[in-house]
A = this chain, B = another copy of it.
């Protein structure tokens, strides 16, 4: 079943020990789409400025992403300037953010997209996430991601959102920040109490913890030896997770475990190249081959 994702479509400028790349196609919705596309039709909802390189738009279209609701406005595209230090590739250092056309963005969707059954609210201002939800006609499955900035600045909007969604994907630092709880199981339980039934706490290179009322599971990340650029790994993860669940058409313990294994595998491709260098080349056979290795790594 089809999947709609709202989020940023950005120009990323990234510096790591492996090099410096400018104006890469990035943003939460773009990275998300790059993995979700392997499972289902993805409808991308977002905004770009007039300066957005046509090659990036053509690239998204070529990858089968529906960009009907990716609107273009007069002005600059959203840009992120970030850096990673060699000793801590888990932590992105934001050097600068240029908001551009995101500033006054209100999401718009086509009439036929209102009834899409699966929705993911990738990282973007929680007020915009709430606006998108109001446009939708009772989706079956709604996922949410956010970031430290919104937890600090828009906690109230975020807590309202949390009562309207099913699946919350966030990283360990964000979980701790949001509920003030160091222990991740306690944090997951506190998040569950606010609303979402399904809690997915990402721990970067340390893997993932899944929590819901009936069961819990935890997997390590796929061990990657040559990490090049982790930007978008969390979005790639979320895209694999929501993409697989949308394709499966049902949410139960078996589909959730499989969705998280897919998500873990796909995120490992993302970190091996700058921007979408590696996720753009992902195919299901490639993913399955690595997934087999991952399952072997983690089988008790």
Q: Which residues of A contact B (CB under 8 A)?
A: 86-89, 182-186, 203, 206-207, 209, 216-220, 223-227, 257-258, 261, 294-300
Is the beta-carbon distance between B223 and A220 smaller than 8 angstroms?
Answer: no
A-B contact pairs, 21 of them (CB 8 A): A86-B182, A87-B182, A183-B224, A183-B225, A183-B226, A185-B223, A185-B224, A206-B220, A207-B207, A209-B220, A216-B223, A217-B297, A217-B298, A218-B220, A219-B300, A220-B220, A257-B299, A257-B300, A294-B300, A298-B298, A299-B300
Q: Which residue of B lies closest to A293 (CB)?
A: B216
Question: What is the bound-complex CA distance between A182 and B87, given in angstroms?
Answer: 6
Q: How far in angstroms is the closest Cβ of chain B from A241?
A: 14
Assembly CA distance A216 to B220 (angstroms): 13
Q: Looking across the interface, which residue of chain B has its beta carbon closest to that of A203? A: B206
A295 to B294 Cα, complex, angstroms: 16
Q: Are A218 and B223 in contact (CB under 8 A)?
A: yes
How many subunits of this chain does the assembly comprise? 2
Q: Which residues of B contact A226 (CB under 8 A)?
A: 183
- A219 and B220 contacting across the interface, CB-CB below 8 Å: yes
- CA A258 to CA B186, docked complex, whole Å: 29
Per the bound structure, the CA–CA distance linking A88 and B220 in Å amounts to 20
A185 to B226, CA, bound (A): 9
10 tightest A-B CB contacts, nearest first: A206-B206, A185-B225, A218-B220, A295-B300, A261-B300, A217-B297, A87-B182, A220-B220, A185-B223, A218-B297
Having A89-B182, A183-B227, one finds 18 other A-B pairs with CB under 8 Å, namely A86-B182, A87-B182, A88-B182, A183-B224, A183-B225, A185-B224, A206-B220, A207-B207, A209-B220, A209-B223, A217-B298, A218-B220, A218-B223, A218-B297, A219-B220, A219-B298, A257-B299, A257-B300
Which of A217, A218, A296 has most B Cβ within 10 Å? A218
User: Which residues on the B side are within 8 Å of A225 (C-beta)?
Assistant: 183, 185-186
Q: Least Cβ distance of A70 to chain B in Å?
A: 35
Whole-angstrom distance between the alpha carbons of A227 and B184 in the complex? 11
Chain B min CB distance to A173 (Å): 11
B223 A298 Cβ-Cβ under 8 A: no
Which residues of B sit under 8 angstroms from A298, Cβ to Cβ? 217-219, 298, 300
Residue of B nearest to A261 (CB): B300
